[in-house]
Structure formats: structure tokens, C-alpha cells
Structure 1
């Protein structure tokens, strides 16, 4: 826990944030790429294989996302402990995160075993697609188990400021995934021809390789914490409960966002084919290009948590956040410029599209030019407030803006008012503007500076 007396603490530089942010950015893109790579590699097997992988991948992707959410909480806890310099706190954050991730993955695997087949049968277009999807999902559960450990260990390194270690693990795993998947999909180099299942095996082996690398680095650097007796809150059970209480709102925020995005896509499907196609094309760009601003905010959150662990003065925190905000503005400008290039080049990138679809893509450009700025600033606030322990408040803002603003307005615009897709897309900006006042007012209030427990 924080002591009551603040002490002078040197604040990290903008370069320190950048050194944390760039590995996080590349790692996040690579994490998204696990299923994307599989989809690319199985494309040559035909539409049925792609449909099967997409169906199984949606379930696997949900479980991966939940693990990432819990790991984000562990990352904050470890950063707080690292800043405080308490070995018992550092050990508690690492092992509690690992136990929780393993528990979540086992519950997810149990849910898949009990209901996965039913879900797949319900949404698959043919029995053969359902069969292939089930086979893929069964093997992909190894990825879930591997990532349960891998994400927990990554969170430990990230919280300690060693984001490059997690990034290097993906650098090692990515060529394993691609090479082995190609060999197993097509039966090359003496490997059996497994088709779609080969892609899942490649991902599973790559995940295990990544996990082994991280485990070796973890035990080399910590030796299992032999010089850190005891736990942060007396017993491991009490420490685990406190960690879980801290983590649940972050996980709930992710689950809410996933469900909201799914509902939004179902409503988007009621648009014209051209408008829906335009939204389907632009959303991946929004996610991938926007990663820069989000990971800058995550790096800021890690450093804030470390600072809070050192019991800094309020002025030192304010000084650091102003520095981080200036960097966030630069990141937002780069993201905005990327969106502008993509939007203006959409006619060349997607030259085979109909003119109505290309016109819809161009209509998104004014919104995309503005979106990164409030989104980046909100992300700074959200990650900072989480670092200060206000996970429930952050969850409430996200859930409220999603379910009381974006989703109802999307339904009204599409189902009742029949507005153009540009108005519908603008709700992404509206959601950020709704979150802006409560995030910034709470941050400026400053209670988060003293809220660690």
C-alpha cells in the first residue's frame, strides 16, 4: 500500500514512454495476427475452410481477449510492485496473475467442451464446415492454455518495464507459426497434410515456443523469488482475492466491448450491401492504425503505476502526465495522417469495388481525421485511472457509453431513421466525446493519486 508521505521522484521522459510503447505496439499487432495469419494461410483451401476457421476463430479470439484483459490487470499490479521495490509485492503480482489466467483458461476450455459444439452447429452453414470448425477449435485450445501462461509472464515483464522481452517472444514465435502451418496445411517437407487443422497446430506450437521462451527468461531473472518470503496481503489466498477484485472490472470492460461490437455488426448488416461492405473494410484499419495511440496510453499507464509505487508528489505525477499527453497528441496526429492516406487511397487499394462503396469509404475520412485525438486522450485517462486503482469507474464509463449511447443510437439510425453510413460511423466519435468529460474530470480531481491498495 502507498504511504501517506509523498517523496520527490524523478519522472520518466518522453523517450521512456516511447521505449515502452513501440514493443507494445508491434506485440499487439502480432497478437491480432495469430488468427489473421491462419486465415491468410488457409485461404487457398477454399471458402468452406475459411468459414470454418472464422467460426472457430471467433470463439478462440474471445477467450484470448479475456486472457489479455486479466493480464492487463496483472500488468498494472506488477508495475505498482516494481515501483514500490517490494519483492513480496512483485512475487504476488506475478503468481496471482498466472493462477488467475490458468483458472480463466480452464473455465473457458470447459465452456467450449460443453457448449462449443452446439454453437458451431447452430451457426455453421453446412455439417462439413461445422466438423472442420470443431477440429480447428479443439486444437486451438492448446493456444489458449499456452497464452494463459504466456500472457501472464508478458504482463510481468511489461510491468517491470521490459516490454521488449514480450515483443521478442512474438518475433521468435511468428516464423514458427507461419513455417509450420504452411508445412502442415499442404503436407510439405515430409509433414502430414492436415488442411485447416494444420493451421491450428502451427499456432499451438508457436504459442508453446513463446511460452517456453518467456518462462526461461522469467526464471532466469527472478529465480522464482527465493528472497521474497510471504505475500503482499499476509496469505496467498487473500492476495489472490484482492488481485481478482482489481482485475474483474477490467475483464468486464473487455467483455462488454466485445459484445457491443458484435451487436453493432449485426445492426450494420441491415445497411445496404455497399454500405456494410465499406464498414467491414474500414474497421480493421481503425483497429490496426489506432494501435499506436492505445499502446502509448498503455505505456503511460505502466509508468504511472510504477510512479505510484514510489509514492511521488502530486506535482511529479502532473508533470509526467503533461509530457505523456504531448506524446499522445503526436501519436494521434500520426494515426490521423494514416487514416487520411488510407481514405484517399481507397480507390486504388480497393479498385475492384463499386463506386458507391468507394464513396462510402471517402465519407469516413472527416470523422477519422478527428477520432484519434479524443480517443487517445481518453485512453491516457483510462489507463492512468486504472493504474490508480479506479477500475470500476473506468468500467462504468465504457459500459455506459457503449450500451446507453452507441448501441441505441446505432439501432435508431439504421433501423428507424435509415441514415447514411457516414452518420452511423460517426457514432464512434460520439462515443469518445461522451466519455471525454467524465474521464478528464475524474483525472483532474486527483483521487486516483492516493487510491492504491
Structure 2
């Protein structure tokens, strides 16, 4: 194998992130399987909260992408103090925004869920779930922020351990609280939400404690010893990258929400099948996100060193690993698609929806994994305006317009929904792969 040492380093950085994302996605799948014992309406109710919840967390996802990219670049430049300033500034910004966003959701959750497409079958359950998840989102925000910084400096193992243990806590308390097993109270939807929060509490504790490890590049002791403070220059840099990412995410969520509303309009059973399909699609995202983390850390650090050839090599290796993963996942979905939906539903007509959905997902993941890694590489290099443009065009416009025409005008139902999703993934793959191959990103500065 050519460049064996680069492959080994890429795998070393990638595997904790890949497994971390996989276990997070798996926990959501198990979560939904447990909730499905309460019926398709319960699955639909939890699914309704997904887009509002992710819209609420968009600001933090954006800040975290910026933190990872900046910390990776500063480490490559040998600027450890500035890397710590980035973490501290991003952390304080995240906490302030979390207080504001949580307050908005708690006061306006009824209206938010109505806009998301709730109906009499799902509204009350959705509100119970969303109020708990967003009310205690501070723990998730703390964990995500610290883990993002750790990933940026190449420490992907802490995020892996954090989220693995968090997922295990979530699953255990799901078992106890949803149906009231082993003498625990039967809380149903509320139990699923509480289990998720308990998992994030544990995650935040583990993430915070990682800053006190003597081996950690990012260290609370270093912050105290050097009297590091949040700096305006760090805030400006985070804002510059994060704001573009925030706008990108908002437009992306608008597209996702439009698709969810069209799916909800097909009926409770179709919407339940659609949400389970998203769970399985999230497996593709999980693997892609893990490889994206590796690409961001390795590409960003290489560009910080001024080594363009090395950055190009690492990004190429991450793409190849992602392609192998996507082929394996696609094959798995082809063989076991029907059985996967039987884990959730007994109703034969919903299972048949699932077979159709899995056929689409097995094609989508081949595009999804590649385009996410391309996007991560471009953002790590600072090419954020192009990724913003491509996301807005693909998700907000192409996906929404295609899905609307196929569902509302042509009446293709669940097939129209997933053809719309496929059109989005194909478009982003084309846009981002062309930009990556142009190599313009290699000359950008952060």
C-alpha cells in the first residue's frame, strides 16, 4: 500500500469518530424501536420533534464546526495558546446562546410543533418530548463544544468514549422508563426523553473531565496557568466560519422541514415509516461524519503546516475509506432492509413502505458519505461560502421543489419523498466533488 503511514494515521484518527457516530446513530435506532412498542403514533410523535430540535441546535453545530477547524489549524501552526482561546471563547458563546434558545423553545413549543406538522394524534406526546429535550440541552451543548475542540487537535478517542457511554446510559434508562421495567415508573414518551437527557449529563461530565488529563493538548491547567481568556479575535474567527455554517444549516433545516411536512401530510403510518427510514439513513451520516472529522483534523493541521500535498493526500485517503464503508452499508441494507423495518412495525403495509425506503437509502448512502467528507474537507480549508451556496441550492431549492412536484402534483407519495431526498444528495455530491477537484481550497486562509 502506497503511503502506508498516512493511511495508518488516517485510520487511527478516524476509527474513534466513526464508531462514536455509529453508536450515537445506533442509540437513536434502539430508542425508536423501544418507543415503537407504544405504536406508530408514538414513532411519528418523536419524529415530529427532530427538525425543530435540530433547528434549535443549529447554532451549536455551526460553532462546533468552526472550533474544530480553527483548533486544527492553530495546532498545525504551533499556536497552542490561540487554540485554547478558541475553545474558551466558543464555550462561553455556546452557553450564552443555549440559555436564549432554550427559553424560546420552552415558551413557544406548542407553536413550533404546530408549524412542524403536529396533529391531534401526535401533538401532546411531541410537546412532552421536546420540552424535556430542549429544556436540558445545556448538557449536550457543553459536551459537543469540548468534543469538537478535542477532535480538532486529533483527540477523537475522548468523543468516542463520551458518546459510547452516553448511548449506553440512554438505552438502559429507555428500557427502565418507557415501559416501566424492573419496577421503574412507566413514563412512555417522557421516559424516552429523560433517558436521553441522563445520557447527555454523563457525556458532559466525561467531556469536561477530559480537559484535566495530563496527556490532553487542550488542558484546563494550561488555561489557568497561562491565564487565558476569551478574546475578541477568537470570537471574530469563530463567527466568520460559524455564521456561514449557521446560515447553511438553517437553509438545510428548512429543506428538511419542508420534506417532513410533506411526509406528515401523507398520514401517520407513512410518516412513521419515513422517520424510521431517516434513522437508517443516519447510519450513513454517522460513518460519513466520522470520516469527516478525520479529514477536518488531518487536512486542517496539514494546511496549518503549509503542506498542501499532505492535505490533499489525507483528504483523498478519507474519501477512499468512506467509499468502502458506503458499499458495505449499501449491501447490508439491500439484504436486510425488510427485516430492519420489522423491528419497528407489525403492520404489513408499513413494512412494505420500509422496503421501498431501504431501496432508496442503499443508493443515497453512496452519494451521502462522499459528499459529507468533501464538505468537511472544504470547510477545514476555509472554503465556507461555496459549501453554503451548494447546500442552499441542493437542499432548500432542488430537494423542496422536486419533492413538492412528485408528492403534491404527481401523487407519488412515499416514493416522491425519497426521490426528492435522492435529488438533494446527488446535487450536493456533484457540487462538492467538482469544487474539491478544482483544488482552489488548498490556497485558502483561516
Q: Does 1:337 align with 2:331?
A: yes
Q: Does 1:14 align with 2:7?
A: yes
Cα–Cα, structure 1 residues 449 and 371, in superposed 2: closer, same or farther, change >3 Å? Answer: same
Contact 2:147 2:158 in 1 (8 A): yes
How far is 1:143 from its partner?
3.3
Corresponding residue to 2:231 among 208, 230, 236: 236
The equivalent residue for 2:85 is 92
How far is 1:40 from its partner?
5.0
The equivalent residue for 1:266 is 261
Aligned equivalents of 1:247, 1:265: Cα separation in 2? 26
The equivalent residue for 1:288 is 283
Residue correspondence of structure 1 range 221-260 to structure 2 within 5 A: 221=216, 222=219, 223-226=221-224, 228=226, 236-260=231-255
Aligned equivalents of 1:125, 1:276: Cα separation in 2? 12
How far is 1:121 from its partner?
7.4
After superposition, the C-alpha distances for 1:59-86 in whole angstroms (9 at most, x for unaligned) are: 4454345433422221122211222221
Aligned equivalents of 1:38, 1:345: Cα separation in 2? 17
Q: Does 1:71 align with 2:64?
A: yes
Q: Does 1:319 align with 2:317?
A: no
How far is 1:351 from its partner?
8.9
How far is 1:395 from its partner?
1.2
After superposition, the C-alpha distances for 1:392-439 in whole angstroms (9 at most, x for unaligned) are: 210110111122312111111222233475465334333333334432
How far is 1:98 from its partner?
0.8
Aligned equivalents of 2:38, 2:341: Cα separation in 1? 29
How far is 1:202 from its partner?
3.6
How far is 1:385 from its partner?
0.9
Cα–Cα, structure 1 residues 84 and 410, in superposed 2: closer, same or farther, change >3 Å? Answer: same
Aligned equivalents of 2:190, 2:405: Cα separation in 1? 42
Corresponding residue to 1:361 among 352, 355, 358: 355
Contact 1:38 1:199 in 2 (8 A): yes
Cα–Cα, structure 1 residues 149 and 271, in superposed 2: closer, same or farther, change >3 Å? Answer: closer
Contact 1:48 1:129 in 2 (8 A): no
How far is 1:381 from its partner?
2.0
How far is 1:251 from its partner?
2.4
Cα–Cα, structure 1 residues 399 and 236, in superposed 2: closer, same or farther, change >3 Å? Answer: same
Residue correspondence of structure 1 range 18-97 to structure 2 within 5 A: 18-32=11-25, 41=34, 59-64=52-57, 66-97=59-90
TM-score normalised by structure 2 residue count: 0.82
Corresponding residue to 1:212 among 205, 213, 228: 205
Aligned equivalents of 1:431, 1:58: Cα separation in 2? 17
The equivalent residue for 1:300 is 295
Cα–Cα, structure 1 residues 412 and 13, in superposed 2: closer, same or farther, change >3 Å? Answer: same
Q: Which moved more, 1:323-332 or 1:265-274?
A: 265-274
Contact 1:406 1:428 in 2 (8 A): yes
Contact 1:176 1:206 in 2 (8 A): yes
How far is 1:240 from its partner?
0.9
The DSSP-based 3-state class of the residue aligned with 1:85 is coil
Cα–Cα, structure 1 residues 113 and 86, in superposed 2: closer, same or farther, change >3 Å? Answer: same
Aligned equivalents of 1:189, 1:377: Cα separation in 2? 44
Aligned equivalents of 2:422, 2:325: Cα separation in 1? 17
Contact 2:296 2:380 in 1 (8 A): yes
Corresponding residue to 2:94 among 81, 84, 101: 101
Q: Which runs of no fewer than 5 residues in structure 2 stay unpaired?
A: none
How far is 1:109 from its partner?
0.9
Aligned equivalents of 1:32, 1:434: Cα separation in 2? 24
Cα–Cα, structure 1 residues 150 and 264, in superposed 2: closer, same or farther, change >3 Å? Answer: same
Aligned equivalents of 1:37, 1:350: Cα separation in 2? 10
Aligned equivalents of 1:194, 1:394: Cα separation in 2? 42
After superposition, the C-alpha distances for 1:350-378 in whole angstroms (9 at most, x for unaligned) are: 8955479638835863x545433333332
Contact 2:98 2:141 in 1 (8 A): yes
Larger radius of gyration: 1
The DSSP-based 3-state class of the residue aligned with 1:418 is coil
The DSSP-based 3-state class of the residue aligned with 2:382 is coil
Cα–Cα, structure 1 residues 419 and 348, in superposed 2: closer, same or farther, change >3 Å? Answer: closer
Aligned equivalents of 2:45, 2:70: Cα separation in 1? 38
Contact 1:84 1:310 in 2 (8 A): yes
The equivalent residue for 1:377 is 370
Cα root mean square deviation, aligned: 3.8
After superposition, the C-alpha distances for 1:191-245 in whole angstroms (9 at most, x for unaligned) are: 77766544444433332222122111113331143455667xxx71232122112
Contact 2:394 2:427 in 1 (8 A): yes
How many residue pairs get matched?
438
